[in-house]
Amino acid sequence: MEWRHRNLIGLEGWTREELLFFMEQANYMEEIINRPIKKAPALRGKMVVNCFFENSTRTRVSFEMAGKMLSADVVNWSSSGSSAAKGETLRDTAWTLEAMGADAVVVRHGQVGVPDYLAKKLRSAAIINAGDGTNGHPTQALLDLHSAWKRLGDLNGAKMAIIGDVLHSRVARSDIQAFRRMGVSITLCGPATLMPEDTDSLGVKYVSDVREAARGADILYFLRIQAERQEAGLIPSTDEYHRRWGANDSTVALASKNAVVMHPGPMNRGVEIASSVADGPNSVILGQVRSGVAVRMALLYLCLGGAR
């Protein structure tokens, strides 16, 4: 397949065939991770800049490992102590990075649309969205898809429940795009105050009762509940949240027998997910992390022209 995406801003433009092709590529990459010598020369001489304006450990490290396993040079640029702290605009920062010769800029930013903005400003560097505000986190969606697909096979017709703070979740938005494209039907669940106003427009269903959402589901996806939602008064307390929507063994028991339990991490054990579920037989949470490296390797490889 001729790979036509130079950037990854969002998954809107990806077809089902492209997603499947991408999964296969990620499988090859996972083989490299499993080798005793985890290094392939595919991206030797390519310069990847991790440009993180927001705190992140797993995503940044995952991109860094992915780049290094493919022999790219990876440098980390973080906003603290940098030009951003001195008042430089994002436009100038981006032009500076490009002038230095970056081949790919992996960007994480707290604001919606920053990767779009950079893609409009930069001529030569590939832009990869590592999370923009509440809008999207497409590599998370790809890794979620990869780990669900590995366990369940063809996802067409599968049922997925996404439970938690959808309103503020870029993971949920990207997962909805990716899983729907693969033929998965999605039900959102959680407090109405943590749901977008217009869920119909997203092509998904909403139910408030977690048992109803979990019943017969093939994928149970739990989102992180941040303490600040309680502070903002959107939920009465994290304790009430846990009792009404938190994942426990009885929630998982309602799902289909081989259902997978997923979480983007980092987890708040005892809030959105009980330890018995997080560490239980249905959990693929660590598999997601491993898929994360494989998926980011595949992405860097394809976007930086390794396939050509």
Partner 1 sequence: MSIILKNGVVFDGFTLGTEREDILVKDGVVARRGADLAEEGARLIDCAGRIVCPGFIDLHAHFRDPGFEWREDITSGARAAAAGGYTTVVAMPNTEPAVDSQVAVEYVISRGESAGGARVLPAACVSRGRKGGRMAELGLMAQSGAVFFTDDGSPVSNAGLLKTALRYSRDLEVRIMEHPEEPSLTEGAQVNEGAVSASSGLKGWPSSAEVIDIERGVALCRETDSPIHFTHVSTEHGIDAIRRAKREGLPVSCDVTPHHLSLDENYVLVGRFSSTYKVNPPLRTRRDVKMLWNAVEDGTADAIATDHSPYHMDDKDVPFQEAPFGIASIECSVAVVLDTWRKLGRPVPLERLLSLFTSGPGALLPRSWRSLGALREGARADVTVIDMEEVRTVDVSEWKSKARVCPWSGEMLQGWPVLAMVDGRIRMNRLEEVK
Instruction: Please give the order of strands across the beta sheet that includes 185-189.
Output: 205-207, 185-189, 159-163, 219-222, 260-262
Q: Does 211 bind partner 1 (CB under 8 A)?
A: no
Q: With respect to partner 1, which residue has the nearer C-beta, 180 or 215?
A: 180
d(Cα 237, Cα 242) in Å, to the nearest integer? 9
Question: Which of positions 4-33 make contact with partner 1 (CB under 8 A)?
Answer: 9
Q: With respect to partner 1, which residue has the nearer C-beta, 134 or 187?
A: 134
What is the DSSP secondary structure assignment for residue 85, as one 8-state letter? Answer: G
Q: Which of 56, 76, 78, 111 binds partner 1 (CB under 8 A)?
A: 111
- Please choose, out of 38-46, 77-85, 167-175, 270-278, the segment that lies near partner 1 by the rule CB under 8 A: 167-175
Q: Does 116 bind partner 1 (CB under 8 A)?
A: yes
Partner residues linked to 283 by β-bridges: 261
Partner residues linked to 136 by β-bridges: 132
Of 175, 136, 169, the closest CA to residue 288 belongs to 175
Smallest gap from residue 93 Cβ to partner 1 (A):
12
Q: Does 170 bind partner 1 (CB under 8 A)?
A: yes
Question: Which of positions 135-164 make contact with partner 1 (CB under 8 A)?
Answer: 135
Q: Does 90 bind partner 1 (CB under 8 A)?
A: yes
Q: Does 199 bind partner 1 (CB under 8 A)?
A: yes
Describe the chain by its helix, strand, coil percentages, rounded to 5. 45, 15, 40
Calculate the alpha carbon distances from 37 to 34, 41, 65, 237, 288 in Å.
8, 12, 13, 48, 22
Footprint of partner 1 (CB under 8 A): 9, 89-91, 109, 111-114, 116-117, 119-120, 133-135, 167-170, 173, 196-199, 201-202
